[in-house]
Amino acid sequence: MCGIVAYIGHRDAYPILLQGLKRLEYRGYDSAGVALLNGELRVYKKKGKVEELENTLTDQPTKGTVGIGHTRWATHGEPSDINAHPHVSQSGKIALIHNGIIENYSALRKELTSLGHTFKSETDSEVFVHLIEEIQKNEHCTLEEAVRLALTQVVGAYAIVVVDQDAPQQLVATRKGSPLVIGVGKDEYFLASDASPIIEYTNEVIYLNDQEIATIKDGALSIRNIESIPTTPYIQKLDMELESIEKGGFEHFMLKEIYEQPRSVHDTLRGRVSAKQGHLVLGGLRQYLHTMINAKRIIILGCGTSWHAGLVAEYIFEEFARIPVEVEYASEFRYRNPVIYEGDVVIAISQSGETADTLAAIELAKSKGAIIFGVCNVVGSSIPRVTHEGAYTHAGPEIGVASTKAFTAQVTVLSMMAVMIAYRKGTIKETRFREMLVEFEQLPDKIEKALQLDQQIQYIAEQIKDADNALFLGRGYNFPVALEGALKLKEISYIHAEGYPAAEMKHGPIALIDEAMPVVFIATQDSSYEKIISNIREVKARHGKVIAVVTEGDAEIRHMADHVLEVPAAHEALMPIIAVIPLQLLSYHIAVMRGCNVDQPRNLAKSVTVE
């Protein structure tokens, strides 16, 4: 969740660190800091935004070609200048930045205190740097060896970068459970939590594996594992353009990403679907296609928006492929003793590919013999590396904390999987298969048309922006859309919102409905259409304010609802990809009108890489 950036080379490090920290702001944070080496170690850190750190350093010495930077999302200890990173050792000569949680920090802190160490912060990270120095002092070893030995004593997740005043041309970095990428330049190296701070300098990167230790010393990079055995780094080319992580003229990243969905869904479909040729191919399914066709059940794991995408997939897999599906919160699944049989298929969904709970749930399922299929957006992330097979969504970088294009891309990939398996299994016929291929190919144009509702949505947003609560209701395939719409509203506008199956309204939520309560219905024409009309009538009878997302040309609901948003017709299994668009825009405009920080909502982080 925190953001790490570091540099060693021939350039001035501070501007690179500062720009890198700004690139990482989307991950969510409450404080920022840098440490710079130039003969001596200088550490600057500040509670608040990167801009506030920058303003405090206007008159400070910032020269040096080696440096580390960090944005912190508080876990141990409240947001403050003291708790911000980097943290320094007892002597003040070693500085460390850390993403993750050290679970046994309390015991380590107690032991180090007994040895004469004093701590300034409340963080677990400060304990880590004190431990490294204590080992270095006792073992009379190099910084790299001290880090390696420290790793054998700490329990938890981490990505760290360490600098030492006594080794001025050296950086040491390692990871376990938290991402860390190394950018390889000409006689220079860039380290970061993800590729966004690196792409403007180099497109060659190394994704560090768990418990690998990277040492950059005197311009040379070496990587060893925790047993100190050298490993050969694999250099990959980044498939990312600098423009993709810029706002491109939009006021916010979230709005840009909402409008990117025609292209992102097109890219997700590209090369995989051809209605003309009558084929649907997901290359990542080849090796285990037979396993998935014959699966007795599928377990889908995800968190937040990815869990909602999994709920849509549950409906599609069961209807088309006739395979029982269970959708689990990864954060709950990993702490149960779930019943998993050898040969069960587990689909793990994560935009970042680094979600800590999902990674832990994958390892649990693998240990019980399940076949794991990953659906991720970020190439080179952890989940694609630990799953048996998988598919990238090709949505492109998503900077806004509130996920938008990731959801539609995930549902698109999962829908393709379900249809492909169903066709190979024989649970759908050729005619229906080809109809679905046409439906897939029409999705980008239909999303584009849904985006044309923006002006109308702005008017509705103005009417309901001051509400304290909101309900989102849907049936069947549209129930997960209701959940996703409610999540978006509460994430970025801080309005309390709940999503429910429309039929459950009478089992409690109806008690909340009055003239001040906006109720958003996803009421497209599908197999539940007549039932949802009855639910709308029940809300109107209690003076609720109804906003309805309906199929283009719907006349009946128009006479009942206060506001109607018409979206293009589509097969009901794919309607969530279209119907969610107005809800994303509605949440966005309400949040802007309420003066909220849309791209960096309070307390949230883009990638939840710690428990």
Region 247-450: CATH code: 3.40.50.10490
Q: Which residues pair with 94 in a beta bridge?
A: 164
Question: Largest Cα–Cα distance in the chain?
Answer: 81
pLDDT at residue 240, rounded to an integer: 66
Beta-carbon contacts of residue 376 (< 8 Å; ≥ 6 apart) = 349, 350, 351, 352, 353, 383, 384, 390, 392, 393
3-state secondary structure (DSSP) of residue 460 = helix
| Third-level CATH fold of 452-600 | Rossmann fold (3.40.50)
Number of other residues whose CB lies within 10 A of the CB of residue 539? 23
Number of other residues whose CB lies within 10 A of the CB of residue 505? 20
**Out of 405, 446, 490, 606, which one is annotated catalytic?**
606
CA-closest candidate to residue 521, choices 489, 492, 481: 481
Pick the CATH number of 3-244 from 3.60.20.10, 3.30.950.10, 3.40.50.150, 3.40.1280.10: 3.60.20.10
Number of other residues whose CB lies within 10 A of the CB of residue 337? 6
Contact call for residues 586 and 481 (beta carbons, < 8 A): no
Tell whether omega for the bond before 86 is within 30 degrees of 0, i.e. cis: yes
pLDDT at residue 534, rounded to an integer: 87
Q: Where do the domains of the chain lie?
A: 3-244, 247-450, 452-600
| CA–CA dist 443, 445 (Å, integer) | 6
2 tagged catalytic: yes
pLDDT at residue 243, rounded to an integer: 60
Q: Helix 430-451 to helix 575-593 angle, to the nearest 10 degrees?
A: 20
pLDDT at residue 511, rounded to an integer: 75
For the chain (611 residues), the mean pLDDT of every run of 10, in chain order, is 89 94 82 92 92 91 94 82 93 94 92 94 93 95 94 90 94 90 93 88 90 93 92 82 70 92 95 92 87 92 94 97 94 86 90 85 89 88 87 86 93 96 95 96 97 96 94 94 96 94 80 85 89 88 90 91 96 97 97 92 66 55
Show the tokens assigned to 49. Answer: 């935004």
Beta-carbon contacts of residue 298 (< 8 Å; ≥ 6 apart) = 292, 317, 323, 324, 325, 326, 344, 345, 346, 347
CA-closest candidate to residue 393, choices 402, 299, 381: 381
**Out of 2, 303, 376, 596, which one is annotated catalytic?**
2
| Length in residues, the chain | 611
| CA–CA dist 7, 27 (Å, integer) | 20
The number of angstroms, rounded, from the C-alpha of 328 to the middle of its chain's C-alpha atoms is 17
Q: What is the pLDDT of residues 366-402, one digit of tens each?
A: 888 999 999 998 887 888 888 999 998 988 888 888 8
The DSSP output letter for 246 is: S
Q: What is the dihedral of CA 312, 318, 323, 329, to 10 degrees?
A: 30
CA 539, 541, 545: angle at the middle one, nearest 5? 50
User: 471: part of which helix (H) or strand (E)?
Assistant: strand 469-474
Show the tokens assigned to 437. Answer: 């291929």
Q: What is the pLDDT of residues 316-344, one digit of tens each?
A: 999 999 999 999 999 898 888 888 988 88
| CA–CA dist 591, 587 (Å, integer) | 6
596 tagged catalytic: no
| CA–CA dist 183, 203 (Å, integer) | 7
pLDDT at residue 611, rounded to an integer: 55
3-state secondary structure (DSSP) of residue 346 = strand
CA-closest candidate to residue 125, choices 92, 164, 149, 89: 89
pLDDT at residue 608, rounded to an integer: 64
Q: Are both 247-450 and 452-600 of the same fold? A: yes
3-state secondary structure (DSSP) of residue 152 = coil
Residue with tokens 């749930």: 361
